[in-house]
Structure 1
Amino acid sequence: MRLTLRQLEVFNALFDAGSVSRAADRLNLSQPAVSVALGKLEVDIGFRLFHRDRGFFAPTSEALLLRDEVQQGVAALARVEERAREIRKGGVGSIIVASNGAMAYSLLPRVMAEFQRDHPETRIELRVHSSRRVAAWVGSRQIDIGLIDAPVPAAGLEAELVQMACVVIMRADDPLAACKEVGPSNIAERAFIAVTGDHQVDRQVAHLMAQHGAELSYRASSYFYAIGRALVAAGGGIAIIDPVNGTAELGDGVVARPFRPTVVHDLAVIRPKGQPMGLAAERFHARLRAALTPYRMGGGAGQALDAGLRGAATPSWS
């Protein structure tokens, strides 16, 4: 059995569109061509993929089981075609970076823009998804570099751990902003914005509050650190988030203070194991590591945070 890219594209288009006519429009094919490709695919794999009902195509349970693998196959083949085009035209290439929400808002856009100022011939694609999906993409070599929450949820990856000391954020007019640093007793009974309620940071905060006999008043959860910050800016309460999003100077009236005892955000920078990077990806990886250095716990990173140093690439306390 030899499946073709066209068959997989037809499967995906029908899965999403639900009809031959809409799938044909999406693929810029004739309706007979779509029907023929689907028929041959079903013959080749040996079972029906869609229920037909008055022109509507509903995926069978077998099609649902195949969906993820087909998507990965199409993405991998598209990656091969892209590489071939780059080789033909002599271009330096492209980079695909993926992240969960933590680094996708305040860090990666800046790193990408700075990198492309120096390497305008390089195209960079940023994908945002869950840590588990990003790890799967890296493991199947669909992307070059991933940034996820540790621990890494998959084998076959090279991972570098970056530990960051989280900060507590509040509006500049909040009485808490007068503190040089903040502890559990300072935030007891305050309106508090969690990450998910069960995130690694949420669990650490809950443990520390319990140790100090203090309680939080949970008002909301945000899933993304950047959204948590937006909620704080809107007057929704206070939050404990990573220093990248917490200390970014956005002009939104939010300030950050160190939280003691330390709450740690564990970030993993991952890449395919045993797979040499292309030149463009290697350069970007080095730029990314440099951008993360000021936020690392210990060494220059911790010293920079505690000293309150300011700068474009260095976290600052307002």
Structure 2
Amino acid sequence: MRLAHRQLEIFQSLMQTLNVTETASLLYSSQPTISRELKELEALLGFPLFHRQNRRLEPSQQAIALNVIVQRSFVSIEEIARTARAIREDSFQRVSVACLPAFAHALIPQVVERFLAEFPNTSLKIHSLEETALTRDLVSKFFDIGIVEGRFDRTPSTTLELYAGDLLCIMPASHPLAQYEVLKTEHFEGHNFIYYSDEDSYRRQVDSFFETANVKRKLLVETTTATSIGSLARAGIGLSIVNPLTALAFRGDGIAVRPLAQPIPYHVNIWQPEPSKRGVFGSHFVEAIEIAVAAAVTTLSAGGLCR
């Protein structure tokens, strides 16, 4: 099956106008031509797109489902057109960043604020992805910068590792463990625990931390993002061990943060493509990340929350 762009253009217009005559006018065509091309498209697809009611069209359920995908394709085409215009006008200044949801919540806002203060005319695209999808898309080189937890060595690239503090325990401010300034492994015995899925690299370190000490937590809720863990802890569901940037973002507002007696270091890794394929502004964005992470470590240290 080969669909032509013109056919999809007609389909999208009909979904908006629900009228053949209006679509013909918008596309500088004629009513018979639009009707004929619509019939050809329906024959090609093998299902009806519209039901005719007097002079109006009623989209079928199949048409509604198809329109979701067609709209995405037209958004992509418009993005290409905007990029082409920017290149033509010599104003193509954009950085595309992929990061974990935890970083999108707890790191990126500070980085973007600092970066745009220096480069206010630069356009930014921030994509928040889970680690599996993120590393797959970095392999495909869809982004200028990737911010990940693990090291990334699957393509010719550079990965900069930044120490961002130590893993921290977050809990409701009213939790019994909030009375301790530093948490020992045995303090967690029997307490409701919110934890990451098996895919998380730090989940394995945390599990090993407790297994070695033979401490049994009550594994209550499994989730995939640090943001959801923070929200669950705030709601009083239980406590958890999260990255220090997330802990800082949630500290206060009903959340207590405590360090562990046995620190587990946490690192942010910044991926960039090989130097010959880097954009002009990517390195400046990386500098902003370095400054933001260093500021977070300073704040953590001042509060006695990391080494």
TM-score when normalising by structure 2: 0.72
Structure 2 residue runs without a partner (length 5+): 51-59, 64-68
Question: Which structure 2 residues correspond to residues 1-318 of structure 1 after superposition, within 5 A?
Answer: 6=5, 10=8, 21-22=14-15, 50-53=45-48, 81-91=81-91, 93-152=93-152, 154-164=154-164, 165-248=166-249, 251-294=252-295, 301=297, 304=298, 308-309=301-302
SS in 2 for 1:279: coil
Per-residue CA deviation, residues 174-232 of structure 1 (Å, 9 max, x unaligned), is 23223222121011111111022552222212211111111110111231112211111
Per-residue CA deviation, residues 129-183 of structure 1 (Å, 9 max, x unaligned), is 2223323433333321111231438434432233542101122332322322212
Give the aligned length: 279
CA spacing shift, 1:121–1:50, aligned 2, 3 Å: same
CA distance, structure 1, for counterparts of residue 146 and residue 45 of structure 2:
35
CA distance, structure 2, for counterparts of residue 107 and residue 284 of structure 1:
12
CA distance, structure 2, for counterparts of residue 79 and residue 277 of structure 1:
21
Q: Work out whether residues 50 and 57 of structure 1, in 8 Å CA contact, stay in contact via their aligned partners in 2.
A: no
TM-score when normalising by structure 1: 0.70
CA spacing shift, 1:294–1:236, aligned 2, 3 Å: same
Post-superposition shift, 1:252?
1.4
Post-superposition shift, 1:114?
2.7
SS in 2 for 1:105: helix
Structure 1 residue runs without a partner (length 5+): 41-47, 60-66, 296-300
CA distance, structure 1, for counterparts of residue 232 and residue 241 of structure 2:
12
CA RMSD of aligned residues (A): 4.2
CA distance, structure 2, for counterparts of residue 34 and residue 79 of structure 1:
30
SS in 1 for 2:171: strand
CA distance, structure 1, for counterparts of residue 154 and residue 61 of structure 2:
35
SS in 2 for 1:194: strand
Post-superposition shift, 1:270?
1.4
Correspondence for 1:64? none
- Which is bigger in relative contact order (C-alpha 8 A, separation at least 6)? 2
Q: Work out whether residues 248 and 316 of structure 1, in 8 Å CA contact, stay in contact via their aligned partners in 2.
A: no
CA spacing shift, 1:134–1:213, aligned 2, 3 Å: closer
SS in 1 for 2:281: helix
CA distance, structure 1, for counterparts of residue 171 and residue 36 of structure 2:
58
CA distance, structure 2, for counterparts of residue 113 and residue 35 of structure 1:
53
The percentage of aligned residue pairs carrying the same residue is: 18
